[in-house]
Amino acid sequence: MTTEIPGTIRVSRTVAFGDCDPAGIAYTRRLFDYCLEAIDEAWKYVLDGKGWYELSTDHDRGTPFVNITMDFTGPVTPRDTLDLIVRLSRVGQSSITFEVSARQAGRDCFKGIFTSVVVERQIMTKVRSDDWTLHQLKAWAKV
Amino acid sequence: MTTEIPGTIRVSRTVAFGDCDPAGIAYTRRLFDYCLEAIDEAWKYVLDGKGWYELSTDHDRGTPFVNITMDFTGPVTPRDTLDLIVRLSRVGQSSITFEVSARQAGRDCFKGIFTSVVVERQIMTKVRSDDWTLHQLKAWAKV
Amino acid sequence: MTTEIPGTIRVSRTVAFGDCDPAGIAYTRRLFDYCLEAIDEAWKYVLDGKGWYELSTDHDRGTPFVNITMDFTGPVTPRDTLDLIVRLSRVGQSSITFEVSARQAGRDCFKGIFTSVVVERQIMTKVRSDDWTLHQLKAWAKV
Amino acid sequence: MTTEIPGTIRVSRTVAFGDCDPAGIAYTRRLFDYCLEAIDEAWKYVLDGKGWYELSTDHDRGTPFVNITMDFTGPVTPRDTLDLIVRLSRVGQSSITFEVSARQAGRDCFKGIFTSVVVERQIMTKVRSDDWTLHQLKAWAKV
């Protein structure tokens, strides 16, 4: 995982045989899953190792998705590394939006827009706009 | 699985323990997956048992997704049956759109819009607008 | 799901397109998963609807696996319903063993032996041999 | 991925939030999956990048499992890297056995024994004992 641009990380990963369907390409569900895992990596990057697990278990925070939109432009196969770029594009009052775009062997494969609300888990209530999580995200992305 | 309305099927399913994450609710990936499995059931219903597997293996057809949009409005848990309504909302020249909405215990949980292109698999080319698959979908949905 | 023999349930299920790998058969991981889901159904059957989720969330019980052994004798495809027979074969001091065998279209496909320990979740300690969970399992299976 | 000992590779990986169940630990299915992905990496290591996908798609070879046995000794969480050691322990006439052991934060977590048959995919027949795949495995593992 590397990052050069504010608010952006890059994750490279293999595509497993077991991720593919009888058509011989990565099954759509797995593309979705790759995005979620890459967004979790972005959280860890911004919050010094605190991803969804630590947020949920240690810090009483959750980030349920409210909307996800994905466009698929090309097949994904196990033959090449898949590169995912995760960009934090918006931090609102209590919601945040990540954009994920994926390329393989020089071709665009898919991209998605993932909007979450940050909540206090126990009481399932949106955090205030000055919550430490939003603060750190804004500082990172300069948004 | 039952159907009463043209172009619509209903699928009821359990939510497994293993579908849930440490927050104790079904992990977002699985909601996505539930939609895909329900759409596959719709294909089987319309094409006399031919789902994605048979289309791919026996009939040289594939239905790659080009766009998926989902809204999440409430958590899904293993405590109740999850009801999914799949509706074929549009049949275009070679593309089709399914809408899936899910309810549990009287509450709306999520809904999604899933647009695919129907292709001849070997040559990865869009089918013609009079393809037998589109013909049967139109007849079913009266669209 | 039906049951006729003490300590035994039968679960029938579809095999999804997305469960299959590029070889066109259900990927080994999914066979494993089918067994886990069927064992969870057995718990629900015996404990009046309390499966792993309810045991974990409401009753401070967990059933971590200590050993799993599986034999694979034939491929599984989406063409036919898969029938799984779950049998509770042993209830020990605090451990239990389920055997799962699967058939499709008249052929044996795989079978597995799944041994768990029943624990109090909070303190992660084996339950006593007179725990209510073991008591109900014994009464059901007559073992 | 590194290797120092003949017939052995080491794979380190993260454990994702979405791999965990409501008990807050990696769900048993995923441990199984980690082993399969690590064994696929071993194939790629030995056969110059040819894993299950390439074997299946380009070389008419499959490696269906005939038996899998796993012992689970400790929970796996997202807090630490998981280290998997894959060892090719046996190459028979047409069958092969991999052993996988996993450790996290200095503790043993699980280990498994995975036996496959190597087949010619089209005709689903065991390969001969002088098949190139077995030859390369033997040379690597010195067994």
Subunit contact C28:D65, Cβ cutoff 8 A: yes
Is the confidence at residue C4, as pLDDT, over 70?
A: no
Q: What confidence score (pLDDT) does residue D142 get? A: 85
Mean pLDDT, rounded, of chain A: 95
Question: What is the C-alpha separation between C89 and C143, in angstroms, rounded?
Answer: 8
Question: Confidence band (pLDDT; 50, 70, 90) for A20?
Answer: very high
**pTM as predicted:** 0.95
Strand (E) positions, A14-143?
61-62, 65-72, 82-91, 95-104, 107-117, 119-120, 125-126
Question: Confidence band (pLDDT; 50, 70, 90) for A72?
Answer: very high
Q: Which residues from D are below 8 Å from A49, CB to CB? A: none
Count CB pairs under 8 A between chains A and B.
Answer: 62
The residue-averaged pLDDT of C49-67 equals 96
Segment C105-141, tens digit of pLDDT = 999 999 999 999 999 998 989 999 999 999 999 999 9
Nearest to B64 among A29, A67, A72 (CB): A72
Q: What confidence score (pLDDT) does residue B5 get? A: 81
Is the confidence at residue B10, as pLDDT, over 70?
A: yes
Segment C9-25, tens digit of pLDDT = 999 999 999 999 998 99
CB of C128 closer than 8 Å to CB of C94: yes
Q: Which residues from A are below 8 Å from C21, CB to CB? A: 17-18, 20-22
Question: What is the C-alpha separation between B108 and B85, in angstroms, rounded?
Answer: 11
Mean pLDDT, rounded, of chain D: 95
85-124 in chain D: CB under 8 A from chain C = 121
Mean pLDDT, rounded, of chain C: 95
Secondary structure of chain A: what % helix, strand, coil (to 5)? 25, 40, 35
Segment D27-57, tens digit of pLDDT = 999 999 999 999 999 999 999 999 999 999 9
Q: What confidence score (pLDDT) does residue A15 get? A: 97
- In the complex, which subunits touch C with 3 or more CB pairs below 8 angstroms? A, B, D
Instruction: List the single best residue of D15, D19, D27 to mutate versus B (max B Cβ within 10 A).
Output: D27
**For C75, nearest residue in chain D (alpha carbons):** D64
Element (H, E) at C42: helix C28-46
Residue position matching structure tokens 């994904």: A76
Mean pLDDT, rounded, of chain B: 95
Q: Which residues from B are below 8 Å from A67, CB to CB? A: 69-72
- In the complex, which subunits touch B with 3 or more CB pairs below 8 angstroms? A, C, D
Q: Which residues from A are below 8 Å from D37, CB to CB? A: 16, 18
Residue position matching structure tokens 């019980």: C61
Q: What confidence score (pLDDT) does residue D2 get? A: 60
Q: How far is A113 from chain C (nearest CA, A)?
A: 23
Is the confidence at residue C6, as pLDDT, over 90?
A: no
CB of C75 closer than 8 Å to CB of C33: no
Subunit contact D54:A79, Cβ cutoff 8 A: yes
Q: Nearest CA to D62 among D52, D72, D76?
A: D52
The residue-averaged pLDDT of B84-90 equals 97
Subunit contact D22:B27, Cβ cutoff 8 A: no
The residue-averaged pLDDT of D17-27 equals 94
Nearest to B71 among A33, A66, A72 (CB): A66
Is the confidence at residue B2, as pLDDT, over 90?
A: no
Is the confidence at residue D126, as pLDDT, over 90?
A: yes
Q: Nearest CA to C47 among C134, C142, C143?
A: C134
Q: What confidence score (pLDDT) does residue D143 get? A: 74
Chain B contact present for A69, CB below 8 A = yes
Chain A contact present for B33, CB below 8 A = yes
Question: Confidence band (pLDDT; 50, 70, 90) for B1?
Answer: low
Residue position matching structure tokens 């073992």: C143
Chain D contact present for A49, CB below 8 A = no
Is the confidence at residue B138, as pLDDT, over 80?
A: yes
Residue type, D106: G
Is the confidence at residue C36, as pLDDT, over 70?
A: yes
Question: Confidence band (pLDDT; 50, 70, 90) for B143?
Answer: confident
Question: What is the C-alpha separation between C61 and C132, in angstroms, rounded?
Answer: 11
Q: What confidence score (pLDDT) does residue D68 get? A: 98
Is the confidence at residue A34, as pLDDT, over 70?
A: yes
Q: Which residues from D are below 8 Å from A16, CB to CB? A: 36-37, 40
Subunit contact A56:D18, Cβ cutoff 8 A: no
Q: Which residues from A are below 8 Å from D52, CB to CB? A: 17-18
pLDDT-above-90 percentage for chain A: 92
| CA C28-D72-C112 angle, 5° bins | 40
| DSSP state letter for B20 | B
Instruction: List the single best residue of B17, B33, B63 to mutate versus C (max C Cβ within 10 A).
Output: B17
How high is the ipTM of this complex?
Answer: 0.94
Instruction: List the single best residue of B27, B31, B76 to mutate versus D (max D Cβ within 10 A).
Output: B27
Nearest to D18 among B17, B24, B27 (CB): B27
